[in-house]
Amino acid sequence: MFKGSFVALITPFKNGEVDKAAFKDFVEWQIGEGTHGLVPVGTTGESPTLSHDEHDEVIEMCIDVASGRVPVVAGTGSNSTREAIRLTKHAKQAGADAALIVTPYYNKPTQEGLYRHYAAIADAVDIPIVIYNIPGRSIVDMSVDTMARLSKNANIIGVKDSTGDAMRPMKTKAALGPKFCQMSGEDGAIVPFLAAGGDGCISVTANIAPRACSELHTAWQNRDLDTVMEIQARLLLLHMALFCEASPGPVKFGANLLGKCEPDTRLPLCEIAESSKALVREAMQSVGLLN
């Protein structure tokens, strides 16, 4: 269903509040730069520190600005199944094209618990659902077998894979078939992910290098491998710099250098270190994003 470069949107803040004007301008800029899809209020959008009202409003603003030009996959995950259903119902009502739902964090459900969590959401809300499998943040890793069980529900259509397992896309494709959408959550490993059967990336780097990320995926779809490898090599240092500290601190600093928003995050995330700022600035200069 989805392919190409989707951006895991940052949520700009100013004076402690969501900067609505900056967010709307940022979404418009992303579309103009060729981004293939928008993902508001995921981890990069600091969903853990947004109130429910803010969460809903950011999704609504994103859908309004996109106005059907590109798909919007709204982050609606929670470690409470009831809360995830509430958030997903809102995304459906607001007009989102799909929902991105993270594996429940902290409470460490079993594979059966994971199955029941997603099945309950898919049965409660008639919207395409993308599973977000990120063991590094949520501790649990959804197995291919569990994902195959869930894929029998017509509403569960894909995965954002942040496992770091190079063989996982091939295993998933073998078990679930080519129609099950596979999006990477790892910018630096996108080329091997695509080569192993992936369809695209939900990208942090696309926040500040949207055109390059879009061009890489377009080149891949056109089987222009020389261009793919040139862009990937050019972006590698930037991918690495944007994870020198917990995301989205570094990428928000990068967006600030581009004049897109303030670098502010909400506690417990805080201003990144001066050494980290230097890494991000140097990487952006090496890519040509800054003079």
3, 92, 118, 160: which is the annotated catalytic residue? Answer: 160
118 is catalytic: no
| CA–CA gap between residue 195 and residue 158 (Å, rounded) | 17
Question: Exposed, middle or buried: residue 52 (CB in 10 Å: 0-12, 13-18, 19+)?
Answer: exposed
Radius of gyration of the chain, Cα coordinates, nearest whole angstrom: 18
Q: Going edge to edge, which strands form the sheet with 98-102? A: 37-39, 4-8, 200-203, 181-184, 156-161, 129-133, 98-102, 73-75
| CA–CA gap between residue 280 and residue 262 (Å, rounded) | 15
3, 92, 118, 132: which is the annotated catalytic residue? Answer: 132
260 is catalytic: no
CB 99 within 8 A of CB 85: no
List residues with catalytic annotation.
132, 160
